[in-house]
Each structure stands twice: as C-alpha cells, then as structure tokens.
Structure 1
Amino acid sequence: MTDAFFAYRDGVLHAESVSLSTLAARFGTPLYVYSKAALTQAYGAYAKACEGRNAAVHYAAKANSNLAVLGVFAKLGAGFDIVSAGELARVIAAGGDPRRVVFSGVGKHADEMRFALEKDVFCFNVESRPELARLNDVAGSMGRRARVSLRVNPDVDAKTHPYISTGLRGNKFGVAYEEALAAYREASQLPHLEVVGIDCHIGSQITEVSPYLDALDKVLDLVERLDAENIKIHHIDVGGGLGITYTDETPPDITAFATQLLDHVARRGHGHRQVLFEPGRSLVGNAGVLLTQVEFLKPGETKNFAIVDAAMNDLARPAMYEAYHGIVPVTQRDSGDSTVYDVVGPVCESGDWLGRDRALNVEAGDLLAIHSAGAYGFTMSSNYNTRPRAAEVMVDGDVAHLVRERETVESLFAGERLLPTNG
C-alpha cells in the first residue's frame, strides 16, 4: 500500500484524512474506496518522465473505469486507451477528449468502429488483418479514413501470470511479428486507412524493465524496415503493464522506468517519433482498497475461516489468478492473539476466497481492508448469486464523495421479463 494515502492513525486505518470505519458506517460494505491524491501522484510520476519529451500518457480505462477516476485523469491531461465502445462513451462522459483516445481490442464490432470514427478517435490499434479489412469497409461507408497502428506481437516473455501475458506467440493478441511487415503493406494500400503508428503490449503486472526493452528493440527494428519501404510511423505505443507491489514485488520506480524507455528510443535514433504509454494498474492499483465486514468466524479441524460480506463477485482476482492482496483490520486490537484464517465470501463456490492463511486478530463485526484493489477490482465485478455490486467512494483530502451508488437487488432484474401467461 501507499502509506501516505492509507495509513493507521491511533489504531484506525485512514484514507487520506478520513477513517475507513467512518466510510463503512456511512456507505456500508462491501465498499471500494479510492484516493484522489494517490491517483494524482502516480500520474505525476509518468508526466515527469514525459515532460519536455515527445511522449504522452494514455490511461488504460479497463483497469478502473469509474467516471470519477476517468475524470481525475482527464483533468490531469491524460489521453485514454480503450477496448470497447462502452469505455469510449465513459471517457467522453467523464470529460475526456476522444481525439486523444486509442482504441485497442481484438474483436471490435462494426458498430463500435462507426461510433469511434464519429467521435474522431486518435487511432485504432488493429490486432489482425481481417480487422484491417473490416475497418477499411466501415470507414469507406462513412466517407472517412481511419488512422491505424498495428499491435505487433513480439513473442517476448513478460514473466508474469499466463492469463495476463499478452506478447507471446500463443496469445490471442496482436499481429504475429513475422506477419507484421506484410500486414503494414496491406494497410498502406487500403484506401480508407491511414497508417500512423505501431503498438506493442506484452502483458500486465510486469516488474522488470528488460522485457520492455527486448520488445521495444524488435518494434524499432520493424519501424526501420517500414521506413525503408516509405511506410511512415509517427508514434510508437509501448503499451502498459507496469506492475505494482501487492506483497513482496519490487517494480521499478515509474519515472525511472518511463525515462529508461524514452532514452532507449532516443538512442536508437527514433526520438522524433511520439511515444505513448498506456498504464493502468500502476496508476490506480494502490490507490484503492475494498472494505468488507467479518460476518462469522468459523473454526475447523484443518482450516479456520473468516467469512466476510465481500466475495469473488466483488474482487475476482484471487479466484481467477490466485492473486495476493494484503488484508488488514481497519481497527487494530490492543489485546488478543492472532489466528490464521482463510478469508472467504458468501458466494456458493469453493473458489470464493479473498486471502488464504492470513494471521488476523479479529472478531465478528470487524472491518477488514483489502489492499491494492484499485485496479481490476470493481471493473471485473459481477452480479453472480444475484449480488448487487459494491458502492464506490473517492476521497479527496478530508471529503468523501460517493462516485457510484450501491446497486439494489431490484435493479438487477429490472430489464427481465416473465413469459406471458395463458388466459
């Protein structure tokens, strides 16, 4: 966690200047809490590296697409990386400039392409040759030219979880490196496309710089081959994926990381091209916690369980990736011993766990804070077991803003219909 934003004072965990216990009492649990100051500081670390350089930050909206979060980054000057028309609509609603939006994703529907073209997005990151053909047809039907970059798969191991590794030969993402030159030739000949850039994203929760440099060298080699064929590349999108500290990871400092990549591009003689960063997790991951209440303590012969009111539908990462999130009591007890618990939710699945083998000094009714929940927390949540999704709060100094109301059970089936009865 970022201690400056989520820290104990007098034995109670605070978000900036507001105690988390106060927020839980006011808004209920489960509850996502975000720190505006933490978002601002993380963005500033990227902006510092880009200052005076031909570089820009495009926040990856899929990490956390709450309008308030998007709005904070829009006001700070960020562009955006999106993967659906829905995310584009969110960016616009939050005050983002669609002309600073990069549209990624492997399965763009023709309607999504039309919407993005109407809004004049900065460019499309195209991920296959069939997508080139579809986008050319859609743009032609609208009397427009679509700006494109190709997402090139460099077959570089990001050394991360296989579910979030995207740059290997066997992944579904991007155009294979060996096919990229032919794909660029095809794109340059299509009448309703304009080649403007190249994109590479090798995965997520990456904690080393070396995979980025390996991928970047392959991308720059390709750019030089494209130059030789008079296919001009104006920007190089290095993707996102920089990791955060969940437990004992030691990712590089954001500013030092971004500076190292920019320096590498310049040393290779490509400093005149714009470089785009697409961070997500590293901007929002440690800017949020998930609050949950202990419902029951259930001892067992081989396992003790702390059953809480948050579940895998609220935070999917542990069940999906066996991901680790720090879990701490919101109020520290002065006496009593800790017991080792599996922290589990009420969803009817054995995979519904949030933390395993955690030493906690807690009782029923206590609040727990699940750390590092700002990225891929609420955005991956669901209504499994007809569970309303959590509320979201943004803390700005000593003020807490409700930025998403808790869903009601009735809202979950408001759009459903019974079959008509006969007679």
Structure 2
Amino acid sequence: MDHFLYRDGALYAEDVPVAEIAAAVGTPFYVYSTATLLRHFRLFDEALDGMDHLVCYAMKAASNQAILKTLAQAGAGMDVVSEGEYRRARAAGVSGDKIVFSGVGKTAGEIRTALVGGVRQFNVESEPEMEVINAVAEELGKVTPITIRVNPDVDAKTHAKIATGKSENKFGIPIARARDVYAHAATLPGLKVIGIDVHIGSQLTQLDPFEQAYVKVAELTEQLRADGHEISRLDLGGGLGIPYTRSNDAPPLPTDYGALVKRTLGHLGCEIEIEPGRLIAGNAGIMVSKVIYVKNGEGRDFLIVDGAMNDLVRPAMYEAHHDIIPVIEPDVGVEEQPYDIVGPVCESGDTFAKQRDMPPLAAGDLIAFRSAGAYGAVMSSEYNSRPLIPEVLVHGDQFAVIRPRPTFDEMINRDTIPEWL
C-alpha cells in the first residue's frame, strides 16, 4: 500500500494534488509520502516484535536528510556505506550508537571519522579491512564493536547486478573460512567481536534464499560460540523486494519475513538487526514528468518526456520496470495505445518503457513513475548538463521542497577554469 491515489480524477500524494506540486516546483521532480515511509518502517518493526531488534534503514536507497529524520524520529537506526552517508545521518540527528557502518571498501579516513563521531558497529568485509579498523582504533585508544560479514554462497534469485551472497560476489568472507577469521579477530586489541553479518542481495521476491542463508548463520553462531566467541548480535541485511507492478505476483510481506527470522534464529537469543532500504522507500516515492512531444514514428509512437535517464537510471541500468500512470485519471473504458516512453538525453538507452499501453496523451500532460522512491534521486546525475531535479516531501496536506533544483549558473559555476586558459 502507498499513499499515491486518484481522487476526484486527479492523482494525489497523501492530501496534496500532484499537479499542485508540479505547478509550484516545475517538472521533473521526486515526491515522497511521509505516511508511506512510516507505514513501511513500522511493518518491519512490528514483524520482529518479541525479539530484541533494531531496524536500520539502508540509506543508500534514498538519503535526503528529511527522509532520514522522519525515520529516525520513528525509532530507526541507519545503515551507511560511506563517510558521506555517515555525515548525512549525523546531520539528520541520528546518534552514532544507532549507525551501522557497512561497505566493502571503507578507507582509514572513513573509519576514523566514524570512530571519533560514534558508531554502533562496523560490518567487516575482509581481513585487510579488519586490520585497518584495528590499527585506527588502537591509534585513537578505542575498542570498537564489529561483526564479520560472511558470504553464505546462496543464490538470491535476483538481478545479477544486485546479488551479493554468491561465492563469486565481492562481498564478505567465505563462510567456510569464518572460524579462522573470527579467531584472528579475537587477537586484535582494537576490536570487540559481537556478532555475524550477512546480506545476500536486493529485490528478493522469495523467502527461500533468506532461509538458506539464515540456517547457515545459525549453524555458524553455534560453532563460534563453541570456539569461545561472544555472538550476541546478528545483522541480517535487507533485500526484501517490492511490487514494481500491480500484478498479483507480490513479494512476501514483512510479517512473513519476520516469522522466518523467528523460526530460524529466534532460539539463539541474539539481538537482530535488519537493514531494509528499498521496501521502506521504494513505493514511498514517485517521479513526476511532463510530456514534451508526442512523436509519430514508423511503426510506433513515442512519448518524449522531460524526465531522463540521468534523473531515474534504473530502467537503463537494470532493465527495471516502473508502472507509469497519467496524473489526470483517464476516463473509464478509454482505449489505450502503445507508446515508447523516452527522455531527451542523447542516448538510445534513455528509454523508460517500450510499447507500454497508455491512454492517449498530449504535450503538457503530466505522468508519474511509480515505485521510484528507492535508487531514484540518489543515483541521479547531471549528464547532458541537466540540473538535478527537486525532491519534495508530503505530510498530510502539506508539502515542502527538501532538495531544490539548482540553477544552471549554480551547476556551471562549480567548474574551475585553470589560469592558463
């Protein structure tokens, strides 16, 4: 469920007409629903009710500070993968003891920043990284909690570019080597081993891969405890998918996922951390664009819109599907026709959909790309010297611009021309 619905023939974001936002900020733009963000966070939080747990929002999905503050005030922790994300979380008022630092390539500088500013734990991805964290911690006179990310060699049955739990992926250490790596970690004075981390991929639509991974984590927990390690926290990552279409083939619900966690890991008495991003933010946001031209080609018609692949790259990058709907609700029974929906960027890949059935549209009409709240604005760029598009947050009948569109001068003036030119 989300809060982008037709009302009296017009698309609303909660209690705000989307066309009203378009008139105020121009197109294209992203708009997020506070009610949807909070609903999805609470679904996860309630799914783990009865277990000691913390839901850490994976902020790489959508990292605007207004979104972070909304979730943090509801009780969320944050999962960060860079110093920039760490600083964003702190700027949004998130305390260090609720920030988990993940990521396969943490630098010494990033580690130092988090240790000085406060961090809940580092999720360690490799032995060389473990040595660097230890060295920085010793230099600062600190002992920092860590989990070690294990790679369980489980096929997440998701897109190859977002799978992270197979043996050929770059993430984590092979689970077969875990006991040796934990034994070494226990000898490093700057580290305190507190648990295990696992994350097998994103946009999972079945529970079976999670179950395979968590059974292996449960076995490893028992082995490591027998070896003398204190394993009190299990970081299970994120990855539960969202419905990108209105079909009945929907991914499992957070309640089903929570039941699986309790069934496979509940007997261990560990604190559970999960790191959902897409499921919290994905259906909480839409991208709104305007039709520039309707072009009649040979054998097909094109809707050329003012949004582009630099604004929403997922279709070009992942062949991803987004439902696309008109902002003005079509009349019942109107005959649809197929369009290729494309942007103005000079790339053939700047295509959002091919032969997508839509009601007849004309220049100036507004359309909305559904399920664009995750990996939308955060992956945008200024390719073709197109300014980043605004982000808007809706709360009931109010809306606010939470990232303005830069002017062309602001964008261009970031360049510096050398004195010899």
1:411 maps to a residue whose letter is E
- 1:195 is aligned to 193
| Distance in 2, Cα, partners of 1:194 & 1:79 | 21
Give yes or no for the alignment of 1:393 onto 2:392.
Answer: yes
| Distance in 1, Cα, partners of 2:46 & 2:330 | 41
Give yes or no for the alignment of 1:285 onto 2:290.
Answer: no
- 2:123 is aligned to 125
* 1:105-126 C-alpha deviation (Å, 9 max, x unpaired): 0100110000000122010001
Query: 1:359 is paired with a residue of what secondary structure?
Result: strand
Q: Percent identity?
A: 47
Query: Where in structure 2 are the equivalents of 1:36-185 lying within 5 Å?
Result: 36-185=34-183
Query: Where in structure 2 are the equivalents of 1:3-18 lying within 5 Å?
Result: 5-18=3-16
2:59 maps to a residue whose letter is A
- 2:369 is aligned to 370
- 2:231 is aligned to 233
Query: 1:388 is paired with a residue of what secondary structure?
Result: coil
| Distance in 1, Cα, partners of 2:264 & 2:365 | 50
| Distance in 1, Cα, partners of 2:196 & 2:297 | 55
| Distance in 2, Cα, partners of 1:300 & 1:404 | 37
Pairing partner for 1:300 from 297, 301, 306: 297
Q: Which moved more, 1:245-254 or 1:78-87?
A: 245-254
Query: Where in structure 2 are the equivalents of 1:343-354 lying within 5 Å?
Result: 343-354=341-352
* 1:322-363 C-alpha deviation (Å, 9 max, x unpaired): 000000110134496432111111111110111222112211
1:366 maps to a residue whose letter is D
Q: Which moved more, 1:153-162 or 1:400-409?
A: 400-409
Aligned pairs, number? 417
* 1:21-42 C-alpha deviation (Å, 9 max, x unpaired): 1111111111101000001111
| Distance in 1, Cα, partners of 2:408 & 2:126 | 41
Give, in angstroms, the shift of residue 56 of structure 1: 1.4
Give, in angstroms, the shift of residue 218 of structure 1: 0.7
* 1:178-207 C-alpha deviation (Å, 9 max, x unpaired): 222111111111111110111000000001
| Distance in 2, Cα, partners of 1:193 & 1:332 | 58
TM-score (norm. length: structure 2): 0.97
RMSD value over aligned CA atoms?
1.3
1:399 maps to a residue whose letter is Q
| Distance in 1, Cα, partners of 2:101 & 2:387 | 30
1:400 maps to a residue whose letter is F
- 1:275 is aligned to 272
Contact 1:99 1:119 survives alignment (8 Å)? no
Distance of aligned partners of 1:337 and 1:49 in 2 relative to their CA distance in 1, 3 Å threshold: closer
Query: 2:186 is paired with a residue of what secondary structure?
Result: helix
Query: Where in structure 2 are the equivalents of 1:234-253 lying within 5 Å?
Result: 234-247=232-245, 248=247, 249-253=249-253
| Distance in 2, Cα, partners of 1:328 & 1:252 | 25
TM-score (norm. length: structure 1): 0.96
1:113 maps to a residue whose letter is I
Query: Where in structure 2 are the equivalents of 1:18-37 lying within 5 Å?
Result: 18-37=16-35
Query: 2:410 is paired with a residue of what secondary structure?
Result: helix
- 2:326 is aligned to 329
Query: 1:63 is paired with a residue of what secondary structure?
Result: coil
Contact 1:262 1:275 survives alignment (8 Å)? no
Give, in angstroms, the shift of residue 311 of structure 1: 0.5
* 1:300-332 C-alpha deviation (Å, 9 max, x unpaired): 113321110000100010000000000011013
2:264 maps to a residue whose letter is H
| Distance in 1, Cα, partners of 2:330 & 2:164 | 44
- 1:263 is aligned to 263
* 1:164-191 C-alpha deviation (Å, 9 max, x unpaired): 0000011111111122211111111111
| Distance in 1, Cα, partners of 2:253 & 2:316 | 29
- 1:409 is aligned to 408
Following TM superposition, the consecutive aligned residue runs of length 4 or more in structure 1 with deviations greater than 3 angstroms are 333-337
Query: 1:189 is paired with a residue of what secondary structure?
Result: coil
| Distance in 1, Cα, partners of 2:334 & 2:37 | 36
| Distance in 1, Cα, partners of 2:189 & 2:366 | 60
Pairing partner for 2:211 from 210, 213, 216: 213
Q: Which moved more, 1:255-264 or 1:394-403?
A: 255-264
1:252 maps to a residue whose letter is P
Contact 1:149 1:195 survives alignment (8 Å)? yes
Distance of aligned partners of 1:226 and 1:390 in 2 relative to their CA distance in 1, 3 Å threshold: same
Q: Which moved more, 1:137-146 or 1:30-39?
A: 137-146
| Distance in 2, Cα, partners of 1:228 & 1:337 | 67
Extract unaligned runs of 5+ from structure 2: none
Q: Which moved more, 1:35-44 or 1:300-309?
A: 300-309
Query: 1:62 is paired with a residue of what secondary structure?
Result: coil
Query: 2:60 is paired with a residue of what secondary structure?
Result: helix
